[in-house]
Structure 1
Amino acid sequence: MNLLKFLLKKCRGMVAVTGLTALFSGACNAGLIALVNVAVNDPEGTAAFLLLGFAALALGKILTGFISQIWLIRFSQQAVADIRRELIRKVLAVPLRHLEEVGAPRLMVALTDDINSITAALFSFPVLTVNIAILLGGSVYLGLLSWRVLLAMCLFIAFGACCYRLLITSGFRSLHLAREAEDRLFGHFRALTEGIKELKLHRERRGAFLNNGVQSATSDFQRHNIAAETRFILAHNWGHLLFFLLMGLILFLLPTWEHLSTRTMTGYVMTTLYLMGPLAGVMASIALFGRANVALQKIEELGLSLAKRSSEDCFVEMQEKPIAWQRLDLIGVTHSYHREKEGSNFILGPIDLTFHRGELVFLGGGSGSGKSTLAKIITGLYPPETGEIRLDGKPIVDRNRDDYRQIFSAVFSDYYLFDSLIGLNNARLDAQALDYLLQLQLDHKVKIKNGVLSTTALSQGQRKRLALLTAYLEDRSFYLFDEWASDQDPLFKEIFYTQLLPELKTRGKTVLVITHDDKYFHLADRFIKLDYGKIEQGNTERFRIIAGRLRSLTAV
């Protein structure tokens, strides 16, 4: 089983301790059965000896169960935490494009539902091992009573186990199908939370989303889960049927086959009845461990997929070192991706661009021209498929791409706003943040204490200002703003273009702004226009001349 291999790899000590305590618990149970059988069949025996033996064995069983469960809690929680951390590290190290292909729903299911399934199985591991040990201890006691009867019972149980295996194997297949349906279901959950406004505004879209998307996914998930659980219930009841058949054979057929003493018969009946509980527990654990195996397999598949694409060195603990640079070149850079709606491949490039320190550059173009994709290539989030990026003549490759990304601070159109200023270590962080809140006209809305924002429940334009606040505090050498001003009111849009951007330029920052606000184009040193993935030739130099003339007129 994959889960057992995982336990041996991650928690070898826990498995060893749990196994030893389980064996001791099984021995205590076997001793209790024998002692009860002696007390029932020999009431004239030494009462004090039986009482002391009973107390010692009962105490031993309780202590071993307590130790194994406490030990398990300690190690299983560590193992689960290690899985989450390892998976998150792999996510952080994988190129953005591959993460976009994997999809957020698949990642979320792995980090939540799959981890919970594994946790539930790990918590049941001591109970499972104790139940198995009790079955083994009971079998040893039965063998001491009559080895021939034990052999016949083992053959009978082996036949039942083969039939049981067929049923649960079919159940495991249904669990795999249910897990695939769950991935789709999480995708619909994300669409529900992120697209709730669009769903509320369009009745037919809402109906199609519920009836076609959600209904189909939930029905598949329900159908496969019911199929799996039905097979597990059949297997469970098959075990009970075999148990009662075994009891009938012992009570009615065994005396005709072999003469047994009353003590031996009583021992067989009592032991078999006692073992029914542990046997039912083992069978119930199979379904739980089956789900955990499916979850672990999905996590391993995702982890292997991420590891294969993890070509970059993406450090976490390494301290950031400022990089002094003067020139950034894109040489023959291309990138392509498939457009589902158009059924064609979009190719960006080849792109040849140069950026200098302290330069203010505007990037424009029609919708779908590749502006955001180019921004992700420039910032190192997408590696070029062909061509190369050079920083002061040094090629940017997988080995140093993460270092290269540290020169950028960006606010993308699909930005994420954290509720604290994480990763910013500055003794005057709150004071600096307050200054920027005043400048961004957010001091009456948001307070900052120990780097934590009092709220992020703001309008879209105000949230973008908070994202800009974070970018300001990062104090990187290259700033990128993707349609940042599109959600701002006219007054603050004016402030952004005429005050904030020139201030960054004055501080020696390189600024790239993706924008359609042609009213402010003259403020840029350069304007670059993309047209279906290509830079319009001659556009940059022509705009440089026009912008210079406009600035001269503005100055007059």
Structure 2
Amino acid sequence: MELIRLFLSASWQSITLAVLTGLLGGASSAGMIALINISLRETNRVNPFVALGFIALCLILLISTAASQVYIARLAERIIFDLRLHLTRQILACPLRQLEEIGIPRLLAALTQDIEIIANASIPIAALCANIALLLGCLLYLSWLSLPLFGLTMVLVPLAILSNQYLIYRGRHFLKFAREEQDRLFQHFRTVTEGIKELKLHQQRRQAFLVEDLQATAVQSKHYRITAANSFAIGGSWGLVALFVLIGVFLFVVPLLFVIPSAVLSGYALTLIFMVTPLRGLLNTLPELLRANIALEKINTLGLSLNTPSTEVEESPVAVQNPGWRSLRITGVTHAYKGEREDHHFTLGPLSLTLSPGELIFIVGGNGSGKSTLVKLLTGLYAPETGTIEFDGQSITDANQEWYRQQFSVVFSDFYLFDRLLGLDNLKSGDRVAQEYLEKLHLDGKVKIDRGVFSSTALSQGQRKRLALLTAYLEDRSIYVFDEWASDQDPAFKKIFYTQLLPELRNQGNAVVVVSHDERYFDLADRIVKLDYGKIEYDKSMH
């Protein structure tokens, strides 16, 4: 079972200790049942050895149960910690195109709900082992009491198990449906948080979203979960009733057909009654294990298997940049993806482009022409399907892709702003240089930097982009890329960006690539590359 493999890979030592202590607890409980039955049959005297054995088994049960719970509690927290870190590493190592196809809601559901369910499934393992050991011990004791009755038990019990399995399978089926609805719920929750302004300003849209989207999905999820819970409840109840039916057969049917000593029948009845508790625990544990297995399957369907190692996460520090670089050449590169219509594929390329140090290049073109996709190809976030990318004559492959990406500082149109200068701890001048950039970007009255932490990121979109630009400055890479950076700036600072900041970066020997629609500043570029529907319409020099 995939789930068991995952637990063993997390900590086989803790699992082994929890299983052994659970088995020991179950065996001691079964032994206590045997001693109780012996004492009930010898009512005329007290056997001191039986009494001492009973006390010893009580102590063993106490120690083994406590130990198993301690091991499992530690294991559960460790699994949550390890799984979240490992899945995050898998996400960071996953190709960007695959992550975009998966979508943020499904990733969040995997990182939160699925990981929690898998970790929680480790908690009942010790009790599960104890219950299984107890049931096996009871069955062994029943075989010692009477082999014929035990044989009849082995005929009737599988029939009950088979009928119970249909209900368990049905419950698992609906749990999978409920898990699918959970992805949709996470999408709706994202709509609430990111679209709150639009929802507040339009009452009809807000009501339609609540009733037609969120409520409809929540109702469907509730229906599936209730149906699954009903199946598990009926299955669990049937399992317990089947045990009492077995007791009834032994008490009311078997004596009519065979001569069985009353002591044996009473021992059988007592043991079967005692088996009710571990059987109930076993039946109650199955839904949790099934939920965990479904959660694990869901994670694996994302292509982020928890049992496979990461592929792109670097094992050792990489060289950040190549300051003496001479050229970046893209030759015959193509990349295809779905267009606005599901039945239509958009192909960027084949494209050929060359970048050199000290060059300012504008990428222009209409919406949907492929500018942002070109940026992702250029920076190594997308792998080209055909063609080559060469940096100083060195072909970029999976082996050196991570190194290649470190040559770029990028501010994307859909950028993310960190609340501190992550990964820039090695700055020799520290906050002083950052503060100078704040003044240059006209943010010194809004934001302070203390030990690399921004005092606030609650700014306008244009000001947040300036903070992202500050981070790019401090990264000090060979090639700068700005995707629609100026679109959220006021006219005054937009002019500063084009006439002062970009020329300064170029004059420092950096290659600067700017995706822009601001035609009034096109004359400042060294070259303009225009894209039209995935193809380069022209690549012309401006000087």
User: Same fold per TM (> 0.5)?
Assistant: yes
Q: How far off is 1:344 after superposition? A: 3.0
Cross-structure match for 2:136: 136
Alignment partner, residue 223 of structure 1: 223
The question of 1:249 aligning with 2:249 is answered yes
Task: State the distance in 2 between where 1:520 and 1:307 align.
Answer: 52
Q: Which residue of 1 aligns with 2:240?
A: 240
Q: For 1:108 and 1:71, how far apart are their aligned partners in 2?
A: 29
Aligned letter for 2:398? D
**Ranges in structure 2 where 5+ consecutive residues have no aligned partner:** none
Q: Which AA in structure 2 matches 1:318?
A: P
| Structure 1 residue 480: Cα displacement | 0.8
Match in the other structure for 1:554: none
Q: Does 1:430 align with 2:431?
A: yes
User: Which residue pairs with 1:360 in the alignment?
Assistant: 360
Q: Distance in 2 between matches of 1:201 and 1:100?
A: 29
Alpha-carbon deviations, 1:330-374, whole Å to 9, x = none? 222222222134853323223222211121222222222211111
Deviation digits for residues 445-487 of structure 1, max 9, x if unmatched?
A: 3333332333322221121112112111111111111111211
1:185 and 2:185 aligned: yes
Match of 1:269 in 2: 269
Aligned counterpart, 1:469: 470
Look up the match of 1:106: 106
Name the stretch that deviates more: 418-427 or 75-84.
75-84
Q: Which residue of 2 aligns with 1:302?
A: 302
What code does the residue aligned with 2:458 have?
A
Give the Å deviation of 1:80: 4.2
CA gap of 1:51–1:446, structure 2 versus 1, over 3 A, is farther
The answer to whether the 8 Å contact 1:358/1:507 transfers is yes
3-state SS of paired residue (1:248): helix
Q: Give the AA of the match of 2:314.
A: F
The yes-or-no answer on 1:516 pairing with 2:517 is yes
> In the aligned structure 1, how far is the partner of 2:309 from the partner of 2:180?
22
What is the rounded CA distance, in whole Å, between the counterparts of 1:451 and 1:248 in structure 2?
75
In terms of mean alpha carbon deviation, does 315-324 or 363-372 score higher?
Answer: 315-324
Q: Deviations over 1:399-428 (max 9, x none)?
A: 222211110010101011122222223254
Partner of 1:195 in structure 2?
A: 195
Q: In structure 2, what is the Cα distance between the partners aligned to 1:428 and 1:91? A: 33
Structure 1 distance, partners of 2:306, 2:161, is: 38
Cα offsets for 1:519-552 (capped at 9, x unmatched):
3223222222222223333x623xx14xxxxxxx
Kindly provide the amino acid, as one letter, of the partner of residue 270 in structure 2. Answer: M
Distance 1:258 1:16, change over 3 A: farther
Aligned equivalents of 1:198, 1:342: Cα separation in 2: 27
Partner of 1:528: helix, strand, or coil? strand
1:458 & 1:318 partners in 2: Cα distance? 34
Match of 1:385 in 2: 385
The AA in structure 1 aligned to 2:471 is T
How many residue pairs are counted as aligned between the two chains?
Answer: 541
Cα distance in structure 2, aligned partners of 1:472 and 1:264: 86
Higher mean displacement: 274-283 or 34-43: 34-43
The one-letter code of the counterpart of 1:449 is D
Q: Identity of counterpart residues, as a percentage?
A: 47
Superposed displacement of residue 309, structure 1 = 13
CA distance in 2, matches of 1:293, 1:313: 27
Residues in 2 aligned to 1:122 and 1:190: alpha-carbon distance in whole angstroms: 30
Distance in 1 (CA, whole Å) between partners of 2:420 and 2:267 is 67
Q: Is the contact made by 2:447 and 2:454 (CA closer than 8 Å) also made in structure 1? A: yes
CA distance in 2, matches of 1:23, 1:282: 14
Cα distance in 1, alignment partners of residues 301 and 338 from structure 2: 24
The one-letter code sitting in structure 2 at the alignment partner of 1:465 is R
Whether the aligned pair in 2 keeps the contact of 1:94 and 1:309 (CA below 8 Å) is no
- Offset of 1:501 from its aligned partner? 1.7
Task: Classify 1:192/1:509 alpha carbon distance in 2 versus 1 (closer, same or farther; 3 Å).
Answer: same
Instruction: Answer yes or no: is 1:53 the counterpart of 2:49.
Output: no
Alpha-carbon shift at residue 204 of structure 1 (Å): 4.3
After TM superposition, the score normalised by the length of structure 1 is 0.90
Q: Does 1:320 align with 2:286?
A: no
Decide whether the 8 Å contact of 1:330 with 1:353 is kept in 2: yes
Worse-superposed segment, 91-100 or 57-66:
91-100
Q: CA deviation at 1:67?
A: 1.6
CA contact (8 A) 2:87 2:304 kept: no
Q: Name the SS for the 1:418 alignment partner.
A: coil
Question: Which letter does structure 2 place at the counterpart of 1:477?
Answer: S
Displacement after TM superposition at 1:49 (Å): 4.5
TM-score, reference length from structure 2: 0.92
Query: Alignment partner of 2:121: what SS?
Result: helix
Do the aligned residues in 1 keep the contact of 2:94 with 2:312 (CA within 8 Å)?
no
Could you say what secondary structure the match of 1:123 adopts?
coil
Query: Matched residues in 2 for 1:336 and 1:24: separation?
Result: 60
In 1, Cα distance between equivalents of 2:134 and 2:2: 24
Q: Measure, in 2, the Cα distance between the counterparts of 1:145 and 1:174.
A: 42
**Which range moves more in the overlay, 405-414 or 520-529?**
520-529
* CA deviation profile, 1:22-72 (whole Å, cap 9, x unmatched): 222122112221232334443443375554333321111011112222223
Greater shift after overlay, 212-221 or 101-110? 212-221
Higher helix share: 1
Judge conservation of contact 1:90–1:307 (CA < 8 Å) in 2: no
CA distance in structure 1 between the aligned counterparts of 2:284 and 2:104, rounded to whole angstroms: 33
For residues 319 and 496 of structure 2, the distance between their equivalents in structure 1, rounded to whole angstroms, comes to 31
- Please provide the CA RMSD for this pair: 2.6
**Which range moves more in the overlay, 208-217 or 122-131?**
208-217
- Which residue of the partner structure matches residue 495 of structure 1? 496
Say whether the 8 Å CA contact 1:37–1:267 is kept in structure 2: yes
Gaps of 5+ in 1: 546-556
Counterpart-to-counterpart distance in 2, 1:422 and 1:437: 17
Q: Partner residue of 1:85?
A: 85
Offset from partner CA, 1:178-214 (integer Å, 9 cap, x none) = 2222222222222332222233334444344333333
Aligned amino acid, residue 535 of structure 1: I
What are the within-5 Å matches in structure 2 for residues 13-24 of structure 1?
13-24=13-24
Mapped contact 1:247–1:272 kept (Cα < 8 A): yes
Query: Displacement, 1:123?
Result: 0.8
Q: Which residue of the partner structure matches residue 485 of structure 1?
A: 486
